Structure 1
Amino acid sequence: MASRNRPIRIAGCSGAATDRRHAMAMLAANHPNDPIDVLTGDWMSEANMTARATLKMAGGGDAYEPSFIEALEPALNDIARYGIKVAVNAGASDTALLAKVVTDLVATKRLSLKVAWISGDEVLPAVQRAQKENRSDFPNICTGELLADWDFTPVYAQAYLGGLGIAAAFSHGADIVICGRVSDASPVIGAAYWWHGWNRETDLLEMANSLVAGHLIECSSYVCGGNFTGFKSLESKEAGGGWSNLGFPIAEISRRGQVVITKNSGSAGAITTETCTSQLLYEIQGPWYFNSDVTALLTHISFSQLSANRVALHGVGADLPPPTTKIGLTAPGGYQAEVHWYPCGLDIGAKIRMLEAQIRGLLQPNIRNLTLLQFQLLGLPVSNAHTQNEATVDLRIVAQAPRAEDLSPGKFLRPCLDVIMQGFPGATPGLDLRLGFPRAVQEYYVTLLPQTEIQHRVHLWDGGSLEIPPPGRTKFYPARQPSTPLLSAAKGERGQGYGPTVRGPLGWIVHARSGDKGSNCNVGFWVRGGGEEWDWLRSLLSVEGVKGLLGGEYQKGRKIRHHERRVHTPPPRSAGGFCGESGETATGAAPGPRD
């Protein structure tokens, strides 16, 4: 049995199917110098979830994430040698099959590792029953659209499960736990819950801290300086070891839920209050952070820098979990094709208008069958360019249609290319035409399902299974998170009244971090310095100010929700900001010493 007299050390070794595959083997091999108790990783995203689901329903092959096996196989001997536990999101739409593949792989290496897997995330039958019985309209949590009004037919649905199935599997002796779709932070919750023997009824605060810890390390190197707007500060060897091979995070979680974030020894990048703030703001949409097991309250959250590459988490609150959990539905979305042209030199706008007029003319007989046709200018030429590359832009012509035949080469690719001899001067198409042929695309719909409708179960290596009941106590929360009232700025609106100004990028003095959930867009801001920067940023990022910053990307009528949070802490720098929800952008900022 694991010792409960010290914090558990949990490493995040993958944040996506495209993350560096050497991490698991490297972390396991270095155990004598930098011990890890549990390796966690996430190989799932909305992109490969929909792709694997469609593959499974079409009977097109194995629908788990194969890159996980590439990461696991070279690590297995050290995982067994040092008694490291593993809990991962990698099963996608074939969790049972992936568990068998891992079991067989363990057997071929003559290792005595026990493999368990989690079921219950496949919930399309539950959704269909609830629809048939008129028990839910399943509104889209991003757009408010009702599922019955969706233009597509779902073929698969997955729920985001909590971490208690993982905890139960470890408690019964599992060494490796394979999940299909648990929430990104659930492996950390499950590992800490098992290690410390927590109780879901009495240890909510401890679980809430582990939830935030899981959120911080779920994207592997992001919290070590990846996707960080202060990345330039990490370039020098002295400051952060350079940009090559950024570290992988480690969460140290004590019995009482205290959290310290660090990284593997000898790695590049950095763990600072700034990098932790950046990852905290990723997909955070207000002061309530939900999970199937617990709700973390972020109203008083802050960070402190303990020492180099060690940051402590403070101020997390806890409340009961909601009675529902998020689910994602996959549907065939038709077909897509695209062609690229490369205008160069002067009069780029006129050249694109000429090309668009000519192509639209040739597409006219079939254009009514297209559900999407866009001419997208990607980038701008350099003024007074010194090379042809600097003077060239990318024009992407993309189309979608319900049927593949409406994007056949004769109906899309050829009309996009056959204008070349009547084109603008220097007209040059891209010669890699593979994207010009129709390929299937998927649609994704996010809604909520009662946890009582989910059959969360652990499948053990000996054929036995364990049922994980839904939480006994839950709490209903409003559909929209509370929005911070906008306070009047002491020195005027839109950043005015602070003396002489110089027009420049917001990033000169402000850090920012956005989520990546499509129409469920959010962005958080925090100031780099102290003093008046906080007040200035608050005055700038009013609702109208954000609309102005979004420019042509703002869709009229979409509501912007605003959350802000001011943090005063003793450490050198500390701060935070909260972000928007449900297809809305919201802003948050923080002052002076900040993370």
Structure 2
Amino acid sequence: MTMDSISATNGHSNGDTNGHSNGSNGFNGTTKRPVRIAGSSGGFTDRQRAIQDLARCDVDCITGDWMSECTMSWHGAAKSEILAKGDTGDRPGLYDPSFMANVTPALPLLAEKGIKLAVNAGASDTEMLAKAVQAAVKDAGLNLKVAWVQGDEVLDVVNRLLKQGEKFENICFGGELKDWGFDPVAAQCYLGGAGIAEALRQGADIVICGRVADAAPTIGASMWWHGWNRDDAKDLDGIAGSLIAGHLIECSSYVCGGYYSGFKDLFNGCENIGFPIAEIFADGTCAITKEPGTGGEISVGTVASQLLYEIQGPQYYGSDVVAVLEGINMVQEGKDRVLVTGVKGKPPPTTTKVGLTAHGGYQAEFHFYLVGLDLEQKAEWTEKQVRASMGKNVDRFSCLKFTLNGSSPEDPKNQDVATVDFRVFAQTKDRSLVIKDSMEVPGFNRWCLENFLQSCPGATIENDIRQSAGKPFYEYWAALLKQDEINHKVQFLWDGQSVDVPPSKIMELYTTRQWSYETKDPLPLSSFGPTTRGPLGWRVLGRSGDKASDANIGFFVREADEWDWLRSFMTVEKFIQLLGPEYNGKLVERFEIPGIKAVHFLAHDHLDRSYNATSTYDGLGKNLCEYLRAKYIDIPNSFLRRGRI
């Protein structure tokens, strides 16, 4: 893709379209052109073709996100077990296992075109992954310099501060770490992009990170390219713009139509939705485009959808800057090109997020399939039988849930649609309750199975009952750590040297809770005319996600009158009403982004302790939006005449 094929408006110039050279400072003659950054991965499950295919595009840097809170727990707990046994060094790496297969075929193209690479695939073994990449570079006969960023592993810091009286209050549901009831085995804090920027300034071609924030690679590449300094207040808007650009491309194809609630318009080419490219200008404005020749789209709708994913409030916190979201605007500049403006920057916070992992115990689940009529009574029958088999052992479970999931339609068209899942979910610190060496020994599995022959009519069990055999699970605690407690460094493998990365000199202390409000000057709902009862999603789009145990959801619309209706209709009270029995009684916060016609909510502790420990199906919060879009409300007929989404 050449930049000649993409129009630029609003005073932004795409600049020169020639090839790039290693060490480019971003200047072309007297004009500093935007840096072009591609997003190659939103997690370890993403497609392996990404880095090589994006290296064929006209980009300056490729970034990628291979980490999440669940993978932090997995790798962190595994590392603690290895260290407890005595680490000989002769072991598999605890970095992302898919990364090398993704990056190795792309190395010749990265070298040929001078494209930088910055990723957070290091997990709990960043140095080992960096050395594996260096070995692959050497095997390919290339001259690429590899650096890695350290400082995110902070269990020793957390333990020291605990002894000094630090509380490490949970930022999702409150409480002090000392009262958690679990002993942390791993702790990783979220580093910013400053270390990546320093590595690139020193000549690195590839920068391997552990737990940097998802947007940090984009921030680091932008700070390097544009010469921004996070100690300089005049650069904060630019850095904040790069933070939002990084957020938009950090989940790869999400911003190109993945998870988009308007997906029905994108079936053509959905087998291969493209990866995104952000052009970040010297003022922090960005234009989002995508890999050519692929499915999906870049539209105000898809970009707004990704903006609303996994945010927490009107301020988006990063270790390098705080971005204020309320003034964001988006303009469709052309096919697959959206200009994002209006991001304002504030000084970085004195703290950053730290995630602590502990062994939570053991969990198991058993699934009965119930069919047809009288499903609630059949579920009640089955629960009574299982509880009777457990007897007093019921009290030994820290979590025991029986849930009937699904319903049979009237006059079902086939047996499968008449079949629902009756799930029995259990957690305990007592391993013997769920993990047995023999089916002859009573335990969770046996207590469920032994009732099979006295079941209700039509009950059966799934044909794969391995989940009922039990497995370890991890608890996760999200808190804040002072940035000046972090030993943030960049290590250069080509000469063995390192550089310290001190925190910003202009950090500010922010309150834990952000501002929350209902709309100003709401309009009477009756002013929108006659209504028809139907699903919210007939006219309202949205997106939801997770932040530890919190769930966020943003709703947005396309038309100005629909925005007036949405902001007036979608109050905190209405949101709680729509949640129905899913509401847990905890704090719900609300704010608005008028420029994209969006109302955002944060539901505290909605996900029951986060992904690795949750007892819900929707451990990542991704399904919450579609649940609420399916709820029936009164929709103005004037909106419905425009059609259904």
1:405 aligns with 2:405: no
CA contact (8 A) 1:89 1:178 kept: yes
What amino acid is the match of 2:388?
Answer: G
> Which secondary structure state, in structure 2, belongs to the residue aligned with residue 377 of structure 1?
strand
1:471 aligns with 2:504: yes
> Which secondary structure state, in structure 1, belongs to the residue aligned with residue 245 of structure 2?
helix
1:174 aligns with 2:195: no
Superposed CA deviations along residues 236-255 of structure 1, whole A, max 9, x for unmatched, are x4xxxx31110101010122
Out of 198, 203, 209, the position equivalent to 2:241 is 209
Cα distance in 1 for residues equivalent to 2:248 and 2:461: 43
What amino acid is the match of 1:103?
Answer: Q
Compute the TM-score of the two structures, normalised by the length of structure 1: 0.92
Cα distance in 1 for residues equivalent to 2:249 and 2:169: 30
Q: 1:358 to 1:51 in 2, by over 3 A?
A: same
Cα distance in 2 for residues equivalent to 1:498 and 1:307: 32
Aligned pairs (5 A) from 1:183-222: 183-202=213-232, 203-222=235-254
Aligned pairs (5 A) from 1:273-312: 273-312=300-339
User: Residue 440 of structure 1 corresponds to which residue in structure 2?
Assistant: 472
Q: Which runs of 4+ in 1 moved over 6 A?
A: 584-587
CA contact (8 A) 1:320 1:475 kept: yes
Out of 157, 160, 166, the position equivalent to 1:129 is 160
Aligned pairs (5 A) from 1:483-522: 483-487=516-520, 489-491=522-524, 495-496=525-526, 498-522=528-552
Cα distance in 2 for residues equivalent to 1:538 and 1:259: 27
Cα distance in 2 for residues equivalent to 1:313 and 1:486: 24
1:233 aligns with 2:233: no
Superposed CA deviations along residues 450-489 of structure 1, whole A, max 9, x for unmatched, are 1000010000012110100111111122221111244463
Cα distance in 2 for residues equivalent to 1:219 and 1:329: 23
User: Residue 44 of structure 1 corresponds to which residue in structure 2?
Assistant: 67
What amino acid is the match of 1:474?
Answer: M
User: Residue 92 of structure 1 corresponds to which residue in structure 2?
Assistant: 123
> Which secondary structure state, in structure 2, belongs to the residue aligned with residue 515 of structure 1?
strand
Cα distance in 2 for residues equivalent to 1:190 and 1:408: 46
Q: CA deviation at 1:129?
A: 1.2
Cα distance in 2 for residues equivalent to 1:388 and 1:485: 46
Once structures 1 and 2 are overlaid, which stretch shifts more, 386-395 or 61-70? Answer: 61-70
CA contact (8 A) 2:44 2:66 kept: yes
Q: CA deviation at 1:498?
A: 3.7
Cα distance in 2 for residues equivalent to 1:305 and 1:416: 56
What amino acid is the match of 2:108?
Answer: N
Superposed CA deviations along residues 314-333 of structure 1, whole A, max 9, x for unmatched, are 11111101100001000011
Cα distance in 1 for residues equivalent to 2:318 and 2:572: 29
Compute the TM-score of the two structures, normalised by the length of structure 2: 0.85
Out of 400, 404, 429, the position equivalent to 1:373 is 400
Cα distance in 1 for residues equivalent to 2:547 and 2:319: 19
Cα distance in 2 for residues equivalent to 1:406 and 1:275: 47
Q: 1:488 to 1:204 in 2, by over 3 A?
A: closer
Q: CA deviation at 1:104?
A: 1.5
What amino acid is the match of 2:587?
Answer: K
> Which secondary structure state, in structure 2, belongs to the residue aligned with residue 58 of structure 1?
helix
User: Residue 579 of structure 2 corresponds to which residue in structure 1?
Assistant: 550
User: Residue 571 of structure 1 corresponds to which residue in structure 2?
Assistant: none
Q: CA deviation at 1:362?
A: 0.5
Cα distance in 1 for residues equivalent to 2:283 and 2:520: 37
Q: 1:384 to 1:584 in 2, by over 3 A?
A: closer
What amino acid is the match of 1:65?
Answer: D
Out of 358, 363, 373, the position equivalent to 1:331 is 358
Out of 383, 388, 394, the position equivalent to 2:415 is 388
Cα distance in 2 for residues equivalent to 1:545 and 1:266: 42
Superposed CA deviations along residues 201-233 of structure 1, whole A, max 9, x for unmatched, are 231111111011001000000000001111111
CA contact (8 A) 1:209 1:316 kept: yes
> Which secondary structure state, in structure 2, belongs to the residue aligned with residue 131 of structure 1?
helix
> Which secondary structure state, in structure 2, belongs to the residue aligned with residue 331 of structure 1?
strand
Cα distance in 2 for residues equivalent to 1:103 and 1:117: 11
> Which secondary structure state, in structure 1, belongs to the residue aligned with residue 533 of structure 2?
coil
Cα distance in 1 for residues equivalent to 2:583 and 2:490: 45
Q: 1:363 to 1:552 in 2, by over 3 A?
A: same
Q: CA deviation at 1:61?
A: 4.6
User: Residue 460 of structure 1 corresponds to which residue in structure 2?
Assistant: 492
User: Residue 287 of structure 2 corresponds to which residue in structure 1?
Assistant: 260
Out of 574, 588, 592, the position equivalent to 1:560 is 588
Q: CA deviation at 1:434?
A: 1.1
1:21 aligns with 2:48: yes
> Which secondary structure state, in structure 2, belongs to the residue aligned with residue 27 of structure 1?
helix
User: Residue 481 of structure 1 corresponds to which residue in structure 2?
Assistant: 514
1:8 aligns with 2:55: no
Cα distance in 1 for residues equivalent to 2:192 and 2:365: 39
What amino acid is the match of 2:148?
Answer: W
Cα distance in 1 for residues equivalent to 2:414 and 2:386: 29
Cα distance in 2 for residues equivalent to 1:523 and 1:256: 29
Q: CA deviation at 1:340?
A: 1.0
User: Residue 134 of structure 2 corresponds to which residue in structure 1?
Assistant: 103
Which runs of no fewer than 5 residues in structure 1 stay unpaired?
568-573
> Which secondary structure state, in structure 1, belongs to the residue aligned with residue 131 of structure 2?
helix
Q: CA deviation at 1:555?
A: 1.1
> Which secondary structure state, in structure 2, belongs to the residue aligned with residue 155 of structure 1?
strand
User: Residue 63 of structure 1 corresponds to which residue in structure 2?
Assistant: 94
CA contact (8 A) 2:435 2:471 kept: no
CA contact (8 A) 1:14 1:43 kept: yes
What amino acid is the match of 1:565?
Answer: I
RMSD of aligned alpha carbons: 2.0
> Which secondary structure state, in structure 2, belongs to the residue aligned with residue 516 of structure 1?
strand
1:140 aligns with 2:170: yes
State the identity %.
Answer: 48
1:541 aligns with 2:570: yes
> Which secondary structure state, in structure 1, belongs to the residue aligned with residue 511 of structure 2?
coil
> Which secondary structure state, in structure 2, belongs to the residue aligned with residue 92 of structure 1?
coil
User: Residue 79 of structure 1 corresponds to which residue in structure 2?
Assistant: 110
> Which secondary structure state, in structure 1, belongs to the residue aligned with residue 551 of structure 2?
coil
What amino acid is the match of 1:479?
Answer: T
Cα distance in 2 for residues equivalent to 1:256 and 1:488: 33
Superposed CA deviations along residues 144-185 of structure 1, whole A, max 9, x for unmatched, are 111111021101100100101001111111111110000011
Q: 1:403 to 1:61 in 2, by over 3 A?
A: farther
Q: 1:480 to 1:74 in 2, by over 3 A?
A: same
User: Residue 364 of structure 1 corresponds to which residue in structure 2?
Assistant: 391
User: Residue 570 of structure 1 corresponds to which residue in structure 2?
Assistant: none
Q: CA deviation at 1:529?
A: 2.7
Once structures 1 and 2 are overlaid, which stretch shifts more, 280-289 or 17-26? Answer: 280-289
Cα distance in 1 for residues equivalent to 2:548 and 2:160: 28
Out of 296, 303, 308, the position equivalent to 1:269 is 296
What amino acid is the match of 2:531?
Answer: T
CA contact (8 A) 1:24 1:72 kept: yes
> Which secondary structure state, in structure 2, belongs to the residue aligned with residue 100 of structure 1?
helix
Q: 1:197 to 1:299 in 2, by over 3 A?
A: same
Number of equivalences:
569
What amino acid is the match of 1:290?
Answer: Y
> Which secondary structure state, in structure 1, belongs to the residue aligned with residue 477 of structure 2?
strand
What amino acid is the match of 1:256?
Answer: D
Which runs of no fewer than 5 residues in structure 2 stay unpaired?
1-22, 83-90, 437-441, 608-623, 626-638, 640-645
User: Residue 85 of structure 2 corresponds to which residue in structure 1?
Assistant: none
Q: 1:322 to 1:581 in 2, by over 3 A?
A: farther
